[in-house]
Amino acid sequence: MATFISVPLKKSSEVDLVKPLSKFVTATYPAAEEQADYIRSVEELNKLRKSALGRPLDKHESSLEILLRYYDQLCAVEPKFPFSENQLCLTFTWKDAFDKGSLFGGSVKLALASLGYEKTCVLFNGAALASQIASEQNLDSDEGLKVAAKYYQLASGAFGHIKDTVLSALNREPTMDISPETVGTLSLIMLAQAQEVFFLKATSDKMKDAIIAKLANQTADFYGDAFKQCQYKENLPKYFYFQEVLPVLAAKHCIMQANAELHQSLLAKQKKRFGEEIARLQHATELVKTVASRYDEYVSVKDLSDKISRALTAAKKDNDFIYHDRVPEVKDLEHIGKAALVKATTITPPLSAKFTDLFEKMVPMAVQQSMSVYSQRKAETVNRLVGTMREATNLCNGVLASLNLPAALEDLSGDSIPQSIVEKARAIVQQGGLLSIEQLIRDLPELLTRNREILEESLKMLGDEESTDSELRSKFSQRWNRTPSGDLYKPLRAEGGNFRSVLDKAVQADQVVRERYNTHCEMIALLCKPEAELTAAIPSANPVKTLQGSEVVSVLRSQLAQLEEVKKEREGLEVEIKGVAFDMSSSFLTALAQDGAINEEALSMSQLDQSYGSYSQRVQASLRSQEELLGKVQASHQEFSKLKQSNSEANDREEVLKKLASAHDSYVEITSNLREGTKFYNDLTEILLKFQNKCSDIVFARKTERDELLKDLQQSIAREPSAPSFNVPAYQTNPAPTAADPTPAPRTVFVSSQSSMGRWEERIRGPAAGARTPPPGVARAK
């Protein structure tokens, strides 16, 4: 009875992945190190395909592991390469698994430039091999049963996945073996076989008859569903009809029904329902007789038939002689329950336990550019939210300082230093006091000068080369036929102009910080002094201890505590906002693979709204809360001021305390600004050094090009005649005059080129005896 159906594998033609993928890598990734890594990965992918598809595979789990690993790699690589007919075109050819061809013609095959097609066919082979491995298991052992059940469920899930995705993956009619009808039927068959394995396991473990009967009945249902699929689908492969698939499905449907009736009869016997026992055994007998008469060549039911026959004989004998129970009709029997213990495996890559993405680090250039812009957008969003909160905190501190709070509440004695002022002084000293802030101020000009020098040197390199290029262009005119340096350097000059603008703005910001420091320097210095000196520097006033138990003081303190809580929450919110992280590369990769382009703005804004929308609302809520509390604090402070004794000493003391509180807040902000400025200049130095290297590289390339062009021009000019040809006077070509004639004076010709002069002299005087005539264009040695 243990006949199980397995599926044959598809065969693929060889495909060279190395050449087209390497070409794409070379064109897309300029960095030599990245290129080398990715090309090695391409070669590994090509080897993996050959291992998975280029040779016969053993019916072993190691072979299935290779197939699944290749499938996982295809899934991972799909969004990283633009696989399509009009971009990265790779044609995959596969033969129909069920069509074996004929004597006069080959089997059916389909060639498509689609990675989805390749994935579908590879997954089909994974499911087919899983069915073959399961069919090879020894079902007499627990381990064999466990492995068979696992792989039948995997095969069912894989075939089901193909059914759901094949049409969208191919965008055309597939071959019959991977059509939705075929793989849907195969998925049902594999699920039925997995359920049968659980039935065999339950039988082997001698579980209760009620459980075994339900398992068998569910198995019969699964086989019945698969049989119906084959029976009513005219476009299924002929393999299902001319091989043993259809008869085996029909036979197993009957066999599992018979098993269900057999075990349910045993349950009836236990309950002393002897008539029901006989009716079920009779029905089981009819079922196995049907199998024996129609499907005997496919499935043997002799053992099962004998078992049922013996049970039926014994049951009839006992009922005839002892119980005389009425035997009901089959249609009147209670339906047997069902128990499904199997489920198709969900196909979610990676399927391989050993999968490692060969192209894990690969990100296309378009994605890199989109990531860069997204990072800028994200930084702007973070800076906007953080800046808004810091401005609000500074405003709050400024308002409180102007009201001399909380110092005014702590200063009810009129002669001691308020605790808040003591804490502020201590905080400044711990941060280094004036020495620390002055050192930071001294460092800024040096950092600025270094950055300016790097920028100016870079632009000077461009200017010098451009000037030389212009001089040579003016000198050689049309012969200086290369792109003008001025045009070539426009992007670099624009970039340099941006850097100069950034530095100018930084200088202005530095000046604002210095001016603020100069404004509060005296009070900051006072806060840095010992407590005794600080106490002596603060004017004393008449005590106002009568306000200690005042309600308005209590209200003010409560409101100030609430404001402090708002500021603390804001600090935590700032940390949260800066800590938000989201990898946009996967979104950009998916968009690039699907559309061939990335709508960076839409994707980025959508993600930023999703990531920071709630934080923006919390920031606004914090601002509203602060505004409301500050209003209450100002109103309460007016009442507090009315209750205080008003005199010049008290006013002087309060004014000094306000300045000290403001000085502390300014110290904290100035220190933060100076440190941010130091970091800014150091970061900018690295960027400017890269800019300088870029300028140096292009200037060097232009100089090399210039030298080559000059050399060619010099050689070209040297080969040209220096002056147009002319007619030599007749007397210079006549024979030498007789003695009676006067001897002509020696003739001297002045020319601009020594080589030309040599040629002209020889034309006039003729070569000296025994002298060699130099080739044209070669100057005579002096």
pLDDT tens for each residue of 89-137: 687 889 998 876 544 444 677 878 789 999 999 999 999 999 999 999 9
Dihedral, 233, 234, 237, 240 alpha carbons, nearest 10: 60
Q: Give the C-alpha separation, 25 to 81, whole Å.
A: 9
List helix spans (H) across 136-179: 142-170
490 token code pair: 């426009």
Q: Give the C-alpha separation, 20 to 127, whole Å.
A: 29
Residue 484: HSE in the Cβ half-sphere, 13 Å Cα cutoff: 10
Q: What is the pLDDT of residue 740?
A: 43
Which single residue is written with the structure tokens 């002094």?
529
Which single residue is written with the structure tokens 């068959």?
189
Q: What is the pLDDT of residue 635?
A: 84
166-173 long-range CB contacts below 8 Å, 24 or more apart?
Answer: 166/120, 168/116, 169/114, 169/116, 169/117, 169/119, 169/120, 170/112, 170/114, 170/116, 170/117, 170/120, 171/114, 172/112
Neighbours of 442 (CB within 10 A): 9
**DSSP one-letter code for 373:** H
Q: What is the pLDDT of residue 534?
A: 74
Q: What is the pLDDT of residue 776?
A: 36
711 token code pair: 């050399």
463 token code pair: 């200017």
Q: What is the pLDDT of residue 754?
A: 39
Q: Give the C-alpha separation, 112 to 93, whole Å.
A: 7
Q: Give the C-alpha separation, 288 to 262, whole Å.
A: 11
Full-model pTM: 0.53
Distances in Å between the Cα of 664 and the Cα atoms of 310, 394, 661 are 103, 12, 5
Q: Give the C-alpha separation, 239 to 189, whole Å.
A: 14
Residue 264: HSE in the Cβ half-sphere, 13 Å Cα cutoff: 27
User: Which residues of the chain fall short of a pLDDT of 70?
Assistant: 1-2, 84-87, 89, 100-107, 232-235, 239-243, 364-365, 368, 407-416, 481-483, 540-550, 643-651, 697, 701, 704-705, 708-709, 712, 715-716, 719-782
Q: What is the pLDDT of residue 105?
A: 42
**DSSP one-letter code for 272:** T
Which H/E stretch holds residue 110? strand 109-112
